[in-house]
Amino acid sequence: MTDKSLSEITRVDFPLISKYLNSESELIYLDHAATSQKPKQVIEAIDSYYKYNNANVHRGAHQLSRSATEAFENARQITASFINSYSSKEIIFTRNATEAINLVAHSWGDANLKEGDEILISMMEHHSNIVPWQLLAKRKKCKLRYIGITKTGELDLEDAYSKLNEKTRICSIQHISNTLGCCNPIEKVALKAHSVGSLIFIDACQSLAHKKIDIQKLNIDFLAGSSHKLCGPTGSGFLWAKENILEEMPPFLGGGEMIQDVSLNESTWADLPHKFEAGTPAIGEAIGMGAALTYLQSIGLNNIQEYEKDLTKYLFKKLEIIEGINIMGPKPSDNNTRGALATFTINGIHSDDISALLDTSNICIRSGHHCCQPLHKYYGIDSSARVSLSFISTKHEIDTFIQELISIVKLLKENS
């Protein structure tokens, strides 16, 4: 697909974006890595549930409960199909990817780890894939180890191999870094992890909406995804894990829905996936996430990846003309798969100033540490600016952003 055809096909589906089409006051949203915009198909699916099918799921015998349950479980099946899960029973609905990681750290981690065991993550991880493992390591007196980063801002595979050993019980890494943009070699890490008896957990928040994911091909044990980065609603996400692992894990939360039988002294647990879904779930949000995944599949993940690959190369080409700019992570090329984002600093200028001044021109980008403080400390900085793209982004938006950025850099340096 061409730049024009893909943007014309998709932008009209997004109310917040399409309202500015043919408008003099254009809004340019370049913060898709933080959260995606929502197409009308998702908004309508949530609206339809609350208008016509609003009822609790699984618990009622009446027609509304049956229709709500059908829509809710259909969303689970859509999610399973989206990642090529072995079974829909392996999909656990959560509030977000952070909850999915905490679920595994508490349920699997507390049950399986002992003093002296090792947990392996990387220097580039988002805080949601650092803090739960730090807490687990403290609870179980385990050792938390970090994989280093190469000079080009990629996962140091040799370092990963050297630190994966017979003491490693789980390795948890991002698929695509939300700051460096690099796509980590998951299949290679998984092969090595399994060879020493370790499980592998993948944070796929930055990859699921941008490329086709096949958990069977990746040969992993756990995966976390977040709806709001998939064109879906906030407050919803999912954990995927192999059925045999989930069967052996104790429940994370106790309460209604996750039980089979309750007596005064003990309880037994419901079958998968309900053992891990205590209480009334986010029904409308799950249905909305299912609609979002269906929407992405209708566009085609391969089409999205190819379009964004071209757009990312264009963004880098434009950014590199700016004097004093430092772009983090590897450059896009035909030989690597890179996230559709660019994180940068400009000598002598704070990223917050860049972001704030761009906002006055209706251009939305991210500034700060992007929930990656250890990574920023490693590079000796406390903040950076990030531009992140989507299949609804255009080269025109990039050109406008670059023009404004050049003007801001000139203004700030003249007044420094």
Give percent of the chain above pLDDT 70.
98
Give percent of the chain above pLDDT 90.
90
What the block records as the tokens of 58 is 């699984």
Furthest-apart CA atoms within the chain: distance in Å: 74
Domains in the chain, please, with CATH?
Answer: 3-30+301-414 (3.90.1150.10), 43-297 (3.40.640.10)
pTM for this predicted structure: 0.95
- Indicate whether 24 pLDDT > 70: no
pLDDT for residue 308: 95
* pLDDT, average across residues 28-55: 97
Confidence grade of residue 15 (pLDDT, cut at 50, 70, 90): very high
pLDDT for residue 187: 98
- Indicate whether 2 pLDDT > 60: no
pLDDT for residue 23: 65
- Indicate whether 140 pLDDT > 70: yes
pLDDT for residue 19: 80
Per the model's pLDDT, the better-predicted residue between 54 and 18 turns out to be: 54
Residues 222-264: tens digit of each pLDDT: 999 999 999 999 999 999 999 999 999 999 999 988 888 999 9
- Indicate whether 172 pLDDT > 90: yes
DSSP string covering 135-169, please?
A: HHHHHHT-EEEEE-B-TTSSB-HHHHHHH--TTEE
Q: Is 371 marked active-site?
A: yes
Q: What is the 3-state secondary structure (H, E, C) of 276-302?
A: HCCCCCCHHHHHHHHHHHHHHHHHCHH
Catalytic residue among 142, 231, 364, 371: 371
Write the Ramachandran bin of 320: left for phi over 0, alpha for psi from -120 to 50, otherwise beta.
alpha
Residues 266-277: tens digit of each pLDDT: 998 889 999 999
Residue 119: partners with Cβ closer than 8 Å, 6 or more residues away: 113, 133, 136, 137, 142, 143, 144, 145, 168, 169, 170, 171, 172
Q: Which of 182, 228, 381, 380 has its CA nearest to residue 367? A: 381
Helices (H), 198-256: 215-218, 243-248
* Residue found under tokens 């599949």: 297
